[in-house]
Amino acid sequence: MKDLRIIVTGGTIDKVHDPRTEGLSFAPDGATHLPEMLRIGRCHFPTVELLMLKDSLYFDDADRAAIAGAVAAAPEEAVVVTHGTGTMGDTARFLAPRIGDKTVVLTGAMRPFSLYTSDGEFNLGGAVVAAQLLGHGVWGVMNGRVFAAAELNKNTEQGRFDV
């Protein structure tokens, strides 16, 4: 089957609780949880690339261009991008005309993986499979659904991605 690259950009999926500030932030050592998430999923074949750890609410076009560049540079045809839920749809639509002959699947989580009982594992499992099954283009996989870039939007009322 296809090789797969996971490009990490941050977002809720990778946040941790900081007991000093009582808030959520990225790990002080700048690490991503994706290798641990794959280990739990007993999924050994993806290559994990840590591009950045940012809250997607603060993404600008330079960040999105960096993601497009990482996708272009990836030797794999199938790519999963972990991303904050706040502007996941915006990034999908930015990437759509820029990625060429690749299948790119954006995913993330509403609750950080590090807090347990997170939707992160469920979403990642869906994204890894979808990236191998879908045709070229940019897609989102969240909460059991597959979205074309044009239709990828968070349902903020329900706290999930929905059709």
Least gap, CB of 69 to a second copy (angstroms): 26
Binding pattern for the stretch 102-121 against a second copy, x by CB under 8 A and - elsewhere? --------xxx-xxxxxx-x
Looking at beta carbons only, is 91 or 103 nearer to a second copy? 103
Residues between 43 and 72 with contacts to a second copy, criterion CB under 8 A: 43-46
41 lies in the binding site for a second copy (CB under 8 A): yes
CB atoms within 10 A of CB 24: 15
Determine which residue in the list 8, 124, 138, 152 makes contact with a second copy, applying CB under 8 A.
Answer: 124
Looking at beta carbons only, is 2 or 72 nearer to a second copy? 2
Looking at beta carbons only, is 68 or 124 nearer to a second copy? 124
β-pair type (23-25, 137-142): unpaired
Chain residues that interact with a second copy, rule: CB under 8 A: 1, 4, 12, 15, 17, 19-20, 22-24, 37-38, 40-46, 110-112, 114-119, 121-130, 132-134, 141, 143-146, 156, 158-160, 162-163
